[in-house]
């Protein structure tokens, strides 16, 4: 017998009451059914305030010669380091994700002549001090170094939030199983089996493209001024098998 609850308990809830020795539904092949047990699958969650601002941007230049492209990229990189230092951030805090050099061809030419070299790299910066986000993103955009700058608020260490999400899912699972057990005239026993999956779902902030950026005057507040970063939601799904008394 399979029952689903849509009102008593929020989240995704599936309950299987086993009254004979047969296999549990195929979506849970790892669980072997036992007589006098109840099987519950429930979602839990934890919403936590982000502790890290993640700024990502790329350095991309194109020049006729490779050495000129490298020199241009080096100047842009030094400009980034100067911006970080001016905001009290060690340049070593920024991480490079990749570095590539590509030839650029004139595809209209019968010989596919190489006309330029493109040098590209991406940079990721983690900031714990959110007060520096507005100044750094503005200066990076004004410097016209990369094509875009993206900002996202995340949990640098989500372990605590994951644990709370698992606890929430288990409380819901046991409560749901207890309701079903009492409805059938039985009492809920000890936990016999459990499995857990956790998922982190950060909410990204839209990319801020350079052509749409506007230089803020000295008196104007940053676009992020006085706003609170959105919470990061961590969810957990718990499958639990309880004995019935």
Q: What are phi and psi of 93, to 5 degrees?
A: -70, -20
Separation between Cα atoms, residue 74 and residue 59, nearest integer Å: 10
Domain boundary assignment for the chain: 2-49+159-202+234-244, 52-154
Please give the CATH architecture assigned to the domain spanning 52-154: 2-Layer Sandwich (3.30)
For all residues of the chain together, what is the average pLDDT? 79
Measured distance CA(184)–CA(168) in Å, rounded: 25
pLDDT digits (tens, 9 = 90+) for 27-39: 444 555 577 899 9
- pLDDT category at 224 given cuts 50, 70, 90 is low
Predicted model pTM: 0.66
- Give the tens place of pLDDT for each residue, 1-22: 434 333 333 343 444 444 333 3
Residue 212: other Cβ atoms inside 10 A = 9
3-state DSSP percent of the chain in helix, strand and coil, to 5: 25, 40, 35
| Predicted local confidence at residue 7, as pLDDT | 37
CATH fold of 2-49+159-202+234-244 reads: Translation Initiation Factor IF3 (3.30.110)
Mean pLDDT of 76-80: 92
Share of the chain above pLDDT 90, in %: 54
Per-residue pLDDT tens over the stretch 172-193? 999 999 999 999 999 999 999 9
The yes-or-no answer to whether 2-49+159-202+234-244 and 52-154 have a common fold is no
Radius of gyration of the chain (CA): 27
């Amino acid at each position: 017998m399979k029952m689903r609850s849509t009102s008593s308990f929020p989240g995704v809830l599936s309950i299987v009451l086993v009254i004979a020795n047969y296999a549990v539904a195929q979506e849970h092949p790892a669980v072997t059914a036992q007589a006098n047990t109840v099987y519950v699958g429930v979602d839990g969650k934890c919403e936590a305030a982000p502790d890290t601002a993640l700024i990502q941007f790329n350095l991309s230049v194109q020049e006729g010669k490779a050495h000129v492209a490298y020199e241009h990229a080096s100047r842009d990189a030094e400009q980034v380091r100067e911006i970080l230092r001016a905001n009290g951030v060690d340049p070593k805090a920024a991480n490079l994700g990749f570095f590539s050099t590509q030839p650029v061809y004139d595809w209209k030419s019968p010989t596919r002549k190489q006309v330029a070299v493109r040098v590209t790299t991406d940079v990721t910066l983690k900031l714990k001090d959110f007060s520096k986000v507005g100044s750094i993103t503005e200066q990076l955009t004004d410097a016209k170094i990369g094509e875009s700058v993206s900002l996202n608020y995340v949990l640098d260490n989500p372990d605590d939030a994951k644990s709370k999400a698992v606890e929430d899912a288990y409380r819901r699972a046991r409560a749901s199983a207890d309701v079903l057990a009492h409805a059938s005239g039985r009492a809920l026993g000890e936990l016999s089996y459990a499995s857990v999956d956790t998922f982190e779902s950060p909410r990204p902030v839209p990319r801020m493209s350079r052509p749409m950026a506007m230089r803020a005057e000295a008196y104007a507040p940053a676009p992020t001024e006085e706003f609170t970063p959105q919470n990061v939601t961590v969810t957990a799904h718990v499958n639990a098998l309880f004995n019935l008394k």
